[in-house]
Structure formats: structure tokens, C-alpha cells
Amino acid sequence: MKLLDDPVYRMACQQFDRAADVLGMPEQFRERIKQPKRCISVSMPVLMDDGSVQVFWGHRVQHHLTLGPTKGGLRFSPQVELGEVAALAMWMSWKCALVGLPYGGGKGGVNCNPRELSLRELEMVTRRYTQEMMPFIGPQTDVMAPDMGTNEQTMAWMMDTYSMHAGHAVPAVVTGKPVSIGGSLGRREATGRGVAFLIGRVMEILQMEPQGTTAIIQGFGNVGSVAAYALRRFGIKIVGISDFSGALFHEKGLDLEKLEAHVLANRSLEGFSEGQWMSNEELLVQPCDILVPAAVERTITENNAHQLKCRILAEAANGPTTPEADGIIDEREDIFLIPDVLCNAGGVIVSYFEWVQDLQNFFWSEVEVLDRLYRVLEPALAAILKRAKERKISHRNAALCLGIERVMQAKQMRGLFP
Ligand code: NAD
């Protein structure tokens, strides 16, 4: 489809086709399940601090409406394309179905560089985007959450803009909000903690001891930093970390607190005094037991998949591994893959808990949130491993098959509207 033509969309379609083949999905179903239901693109003129007016592009893709509202993050990035957003929305659909949430997948993006905008400009971009999306979003229609380049503050502005139009507070219109306005305890950390929980479970399966185990994390934002601290709490040494500016590798282990303080002061890792400075590409192929891509799509490709030196590949980011690299990793058999649709599902699971709490005006303790999170992740991991073993397919294929077949069954039960 020309409108969505983009490498990331093509990759999501390729993954879908592979899973549909395994499922033996009838041809008549394939396009109906794969194609997004709605793609919304808007131009957004914004008054900048210097008095000029800059026009940004904003997108929202709602993949399917079969099981409930659409759900998924909003990304601020100069690289955002409609096709990429559609791919991310499709992955959200399989992810929600895999872990049993009553949602279709959604994703949004604004074509801007948040690092180059002032706080006022960021607020104007966010409010304008929310305003433009007003007819298409709502607690029962489409619920957004933070993703790359957005955070709790972004969600607070969105919730305020929507609520001002409604005439009353509507906290359930977004998740990942500050706790003071209806956010859930544990939501900010949920994705990273889910990643660490799953790595811990896989280490048990592989009989790996935390002592002496090393991890490399690509991306030191919300997901990467929380995962790094959580893994360190297990006793794992973090030997490599990267961000948009480059990468650091330190065999003896990086000092996370010092690193975080440096990033807060300088807005990037660059210039940190410890470890060896290298490119992002070089970091991915350094020796480690656990590799956690937690940044952008398509960083593990046919060019580096042969050279990975990890035992566990935990996909905290969405779509970090290309289908070509998947083929290589499958053949190698020495890497245990935790596929993205499971690995980073902690975020949307706790977003679901936040939405439920907001709709009921009844809030849970952090212990309750985390306990429920792990009780969703654990059986999902077990189901993937069981399916992979029974059908002799990769973990990715097993995870996608489980998610896709649930969406297919729901569509079959509802039937085709005339
Ligand atoms: P973030 O904006 O908080 O952090 C992103 C990090 O990646 C930053 O440190 C940034 O400098 C770094 N980065 C950007 N481009 C890079 C590159 N080319 N190489 C290396 N590092 C780079 O974003 P986040 O919320 O942590 O999201 C990270 C990933 O996790 C994304 O793929 C996102 O879709 C996925 N994810 C996030 C959530 C969530 O709850 N935030 C949930 C599920 C999945």
C-alpha cells in the first residue's frame, strides 16, 4: 500500500505474513486483519518562541477496533513517518491480544525533535496535536500513552486539553500521566521492570546465575534506564549503555547514578568520564550475556546479527530486529530471543491497569500493580515457549501467532458488517 510504504511497515507486514503462513490463515482474512482501520494525518501550525510559525505533521493510526478502544504510545521524533506509525500500531494489536487486553493497537507520532524545542513549544505542539485528534480519541475510542520523546508531562497536557473541551476532568483519555492527576503507581517504571522480570525468568530457565552476568543496553531513556537499574538489582553488571549521541562500554561496569546525573546535566551521554566511547553499532557487538535494545527500530540487521555475542536478546524497543536478522538468529540457535511484543508489554499492561483505575476512580497500591503485572507476563512467556516448542517455530513467530490468532478469532465471531 503506497500510502504506508516505509521500511518499518514492510517489516511488520513481512512478520505478519510469516505468522499467517504458520497459522494457515485463509487469504480472505489476511488483508482484513493486516490493514489499519484508520490513518489520520494532520498539519499543525505552531507559534515558536522567536515569533515564527512552524508547521509540524502529526499522525495517528488505529489498527483495529474489534475488541475495544485502540491503545498505544505517542512518539515525538524527527524520523516519524506514517508507515512507521502504522507498523507500530500493528505490533500494538498483536501485543495487546497476546497478553489478553481488550484493546486494538494504536500509535501516534509528531514530526519534531523534542530536544530542539523549548518547554513552551513542546506544550503548544502537544496541545495542538490533541486538539486536531479530538474527534478520534477518547476513553472508549483511542487512549494514548508516552513513547519515545514524550513523557508524563506530555500526557498531562493532553489530558488537560481534552478535559477543557469536555468541561470536566477525563483522566482515562491517556495513560502514563502523573500520579497526581490519575496516573497509576508503577506506570513510569512498568516497561523497564517488565523487561527485567522476563530476563530474570529466562535466566532461571537457562540456569544462568546473576553473579558474573553482564548486560548491554541500547538507549538510556524511560525504558532503558529503568531496565538497567532493575537488572543491577538482580546483581547483573551493566557494561554498556548508549543513547542518540553514541555509546559507552566499561568491562568493570558503569556507574548508573553518575551516568544518569551526567545525562540530566548534559542531555546526552557524550563526555562521560568513564568507559570506552564508541559508536552505537560497535556497542551492539561487544561481548555480554544480555543485550537489550531499548531505543529505535531496525538496529539488529543482517550486517550485525552474525556478530552478536549475547546469550539473551531482550527486545525492549519495538521492532529492533529486521526479518533478515531474525533468520540469522534462528539459524544460530545460541541466542534466546524475548520478542518485543512480549518483552516491552509491561508498559501497555500497566497502562490498562491505569485506565481501569481511572474508569472506576479506585486506585491500587504499587505492590498490587506490580504483582498483577507479573501475573500477566509470566503465563504469556510460558504460552510462547510452549507454542514455539510444539510447532518448532521461533519465539517471535510463536508470540505473533498467539496474538494474531486471537484477533482473527474475534473478527470471525463478530462477523463481517454488511
Ligand atoms: P525515550 O525517549 O525515553 O528514550 C529513548 C532513548 O533512546 C534515549 O536515550 C535516546 O537518546 C536513545 N536513542 C535514540 N535514538 C537512538 C539511536 N539511534 N541509537 C541509540 N540510542 C538512541 O523512549 P522510551 O520510552 O524509553 O522508548 C524506547 C523504546 O521502547 C521505543 O522503541 C519505544 O517504542 C519502546 N517502548 C516504550 C514504552 C514506554 O512505556 N515508554 C513501552 C513499550 C515500548
Chain segment 74-114, per-residue pLDDT in tens:
999 999 999 999 999 999 999 999 999 999 999 999 999 99
pLDDT for res 117: 98
The letter for the amino acid at 182 is G
| Predicted local confidence at residue 2, as pLDDT | 84
pLDDT at 211 over 80: yes
3-state secondary structure of 133: helix
How many angstroms separate the CA atoms of 123 and 17, rounded? Answer: 40
pLDDT digits (tens, 9 = 90+) for 294-314: 999 999 999 999 999 999 999
Q: Phi then psi for 76, rounded to 5 degrees?
A: -110, 115
34, 71, 107, 237: which one is catalytic? 107
Q: Calculate mean pLDDT across residues 59-66.
A: 98
Maximal CA-CA distance, the chain: 65
Q: Is the dihedral of CA 133, 134, 137, 143 positive or negative?
A: positive
Q: Say if residues 280 and 293 touch (Cβ distance below 8 Å).
A: no
Mapping DSSP to helix (H, G, I), strand (E, B) and coil, where does residue 191 land? helix
Is the distance from the beta carbon of residue 248 to the nearest atom of ligand 1 less than 6 Å?
no
d(CA 239, CA 248): 8
**Is residue 1 pLDDT above 90, yes or no?**
no
What value does the mean pLDDT take over residues 191-199? Answer: 98
**Mean pLDDT of all residues belonging to the chain:** 97
Instruction: Indicate if ligand 1 lies below 6 Å from the C-beta of 172.
Output: no
Catalytic residue status for 107: yes
Between CA 176 and CA 179 the distance in angstroms is: 9
With the most atoms of ligand 1 within 8 angstroms of its CB, the residue from 244, 277, 377 to mutate is 244
- Exposed e or buried b per residue across 366-399, where buried means at least 16 C-beta atoms within 10 angstroms of its C-beta: eeebbebbbebbeebbebbbebbeeeebbbbbbb
Q: Which residues contact 136 (CB under 8 A, 6 or more apart)?
A: 38, 40, 60, 62, 142
Rounded CA-CA distance 86/177 in Å is 24
Let me know: does 127 contact 51? Beta carbons within 8 Å: no
Q: How many CB atoms lie within 10 A of CB 116?
A: 8
Q: 297 CA to middle of ligand 1, Å?
A: 9
Sheet holding 237-243, edge to edge: 276-278, 246-249, 237-243, 214-218, 290-293, 312-314, 336-338
C-alpha–C-alpha distance, residues 7 and 328, integer Å: 19
Q: What is the Cα 150 distance to its own chain's centre? A: 12
Contacts of 300 (CB under 8 A, 6+ apart): 284, 293, 308, 313, 320, 321, 322, 325, 329
Name residue, grid cell 568507559: 275
Calculate the CA 342 to chain-centre distance. 10
64 alpha carbon – ligand 1 mean position (Å): 25
- pLDDT grade, residue 147 (50/70/90)? very high
Q: What angle, 0 to 180 degrees and rounded to 10, lies between the N-to-C axes of helices 395-414 and 27-34?
A: 100
Q: How many helices (DSSP H) and strands (DSSP E) are in the chain? A: 14, 12
Alpha carbon nearest to ligand 1 atom 36, residue:
317
Which of 69, 62, 8, 11 has the alpha carbon at shortest distance from 35?
A: 62
| Segment 267-282 mean pLDDT | 96
Banded model confidence at residue 28, pLDDT cuts 50, 70, 90: confident
